Amino acid sequence: MQSLFSELVFLVLIILALVMLAQKLRLAYPIVLVLGGLALSFTGLFTNLEIKPEIVFLIFLPPLLYEAAWQVSWKEFWKWRRVITSFAFPIVILTACVVAVVSHALIPGFTLALGFLLGGIVSPPDAISATTIMRQVKVPKVLLSVIEGESLLNDASSLIVFRFALAAVLTGQFSFGQAAGSFFLVIVLGTLIGVAVGLVFYTLHRKLPTTPSIDTVLTLVTPYCMYYAAEYFHYSGVLAVVSGGLLLSSKRNTMLTYRSRIEGVNVWTVLSFVFNGLIFLLIGLQLPHIVQQLGDTSLGTAIGYGLLISLALIVARLLCSFGASLFTRLASHFITVADANPGWKLPLVSGWAGMRGVVSLAAALSIPLLTPAGQPFPYRNLILFITFVVILVTLVFQGLTLPWLIRKMRLEDKFAPIPAEQQELLIQQKLAEQALRHLANRSPHNGSPNEYLHNMRARLQLDTAFFSRALASAGSTQLNTLQHFQQLYLEVLEQQRILLQQMNRREDFDEEIIRKYLTVLDLEEYKLREKQLQPADPEQASP
């Protein structure tokens, strides 16, 4: 146990170094982590660490899905619901069918049932890699929203396909009508269980005398309860976590205090960063274990199968993406759609953003070693190796070329009529005006003198006048002036920190009070950094 813990500590340190290297090279950190893990696998170190499917599905997957559900904008999710669901369900199923047909025709003795099993494994893209890249390159909001929304649902559809295909291989029987009915039952009841558990935890947050620490721990426990409850009844734990997470995310302002929200975000940011880092690094470390299990199949033949399946996946997703765009244009003649003319650039980029990840590898590892008859599971080792090759090819090849493709397409965000900097000025102006109206109603000018209220009112009036002028003269000059102000303000905050640290050396100042004001300065800098167009914190640029 001590040796395992020591290896995990060293792995975390390696992850930090590789992420910093990725930021230096301006690459998405999942790509660098997988390649780093692949390089480490040749050293013979960390041989005791293997990806166990139960660890991925029961420990890593629920919190990562839950955190993703909290990050997704429900407004954007609902606006693009048809596109998201088409990518998450029909396209995933069609991709699985393509893989089934290709693998059945390509691999001698490979049945259609085994093909659907492989298709269910490799069909869901991993959106962490795609969104990490897209946050480093300017892309339209619609593309990011669709990819993030798809990532919440595609794991569920692929794992359901995998479950039915596995049952068909093990029993030798398959009924399409029964499978279709069970498919919708698993989806609907999994969603309802997630909503029900979410309502239970919403009540706990609202009714119990919780503290910020208790609220944070409850949010950590919530996704596991959702996932385990749905899986216990053999329904979709993925959809349970997604539906419950979206529900609680929309209620965050009523069930959590401001301190709970701030502290919870910090904990979840660190947790998801470490979990994602471990997962991608462990993918690369699995190569020796997977190669050793190939058995009679030669390494060259297995690599060839993997490359051909990867090509089939890439082409199938691209065709499905263009097909979804064409279907949207046809449907716009009969129903109201969010975008009646998607064009060809967005479908091309979204189709290319189909990198595979750890869910695929964990699903392949969860294939049983033996059939119910006690015979070795057919082609298990080859399926596992093909899955690894697909992950490596799509993650590295598509991941490295996706930024180039995005820049080449010069995508325009036609659904953002107001520039981002003007939106920020307008929001701040409205907030200041609302504050002034409330002060006028609650504390008239002819009331008893209150210097604090007078100071607040004067500051808000200055802010309102400033934002009005800024909006009236919005342009490059005004933007440069704002950036100059932000830079000087950051320097002022740093000088104030230095002063507080000097005051802390004096015996007549309490260090606890000094730390309180250091935290205030940190919050001020955080707010200012959030308003800047280019975040200074690398982790904010590519979480």
Q: Residue 3's CB: how many other CB atoms inside 10 A? A: 8
Q: Do 438 and 516 belong together in one domain?
A: no
Q: Do 318 and 449 belong together in one domain?
A: no
- Which residues are within 8 A (CB) of 387 and not within 5 positions of it... i.e. 6 or more apart? 118, 121, 122, 356, 360, 361, 363, 364
Q: Do 346 and 429 belong together in one domain?
A: no
Look at residue 204 and tell me if it is in a domain.
no
Q: Residue 44's CB: how many other CB atoms inside 10 A? A: 8
Q: Do 60 and 107 belong together in one domain?
A: yes
pLDDT of residue 421: 67
Q: Do 455 and 496 belong together in one domain?
A: no
Burial degree of 271 (CB within 10 A; 0-12, 13-18, 19+): middle
Q: Do 298 and 400 belong together in one domain?
A: yes
Burial degree of 115 (CB within 10 A; 0-12, 13-18, 19+): buried
Look at residue 464 and tell me if it is in a domain.
yes
Question: Average pLDDT by consecutive 10-residue portion of the chain (543 residues)?
Answer: 78 94 89 91 78 83 90 82 86 91 92 91 82 78 84 83 84 69 86 96 94 94 96 90 92 86 88 90 84 79 93 93 85 73 85 87 85 84 91 90 88 67 74 82 67 82 80 61 74 85 80 79 78 46 35
Look at residue 525 and tell me if it is in a domain.
yes
- The answer to whether residues 119 and 96 touch, using CB atoms and an 8 Å cutoff, is yes
pLDDT of residue 210: 93
Look at residue 332 and tell me if it is in a domain.
yes
Q: Do 316 and 378 belong together in one domain?
A: yes
3-state secondary structure (DSSP) of residue 376: strand
Q: Do 167 and 298 belong together in one domain?
A: yes
Q: Do 424 and 384 belong together in one domain?
A: no
Q: Do 401 and 425 belong together in one domain?
A: no
Q: What are phi and psi of 370, to 5 degrees?
A: -125, 150
Q: Do 312 and 428 belong together in one domain?
A: no
Q: Do 49 and 147 belong together in one domain?
A: yes
Look at residue 98 and tell me if it is in a domain.
yes
Look at residue 117 and tell me if it is in a domain.
yes
- The answer to whether residues 56 and 276 touch, using CB atoms and an 8 Å cutoff, is no
Report the distance separating Cα 524 and Cα 180, nearest Å. Answer: 54
**Sign of the CA dihedral with 246 first, then 250, 251, and 253 last:** positive
Burial degree of 384 (CB within 10 A; 0-12, 13-18, 19+): buried
Range of the domain at 541: 490-543
- CATH number at 9 reads 1.20.1530.20
- Structural domains of the chain, count: 3
Q: In the listed set 392, 409, 426, which residue is the last one of a domain according to the structure?
A: 409
Look at residue 152 and tell me if it is in a domain.
yes
- The answer to whether residues 371 and 172 touch, using CB atoms and an 8 Å cutoff, is no
Report the distance separating Cα 462 and Cα 470, nearest Å. Answer: 12
Look at residue 128 and tell me if it is in a domain.
yes
pLDDT of residue 216: 94
* pTM score, whole prediction: 0.81
In 3D, which of 539, 540, 404 has the Cα closest to residue 15?
539
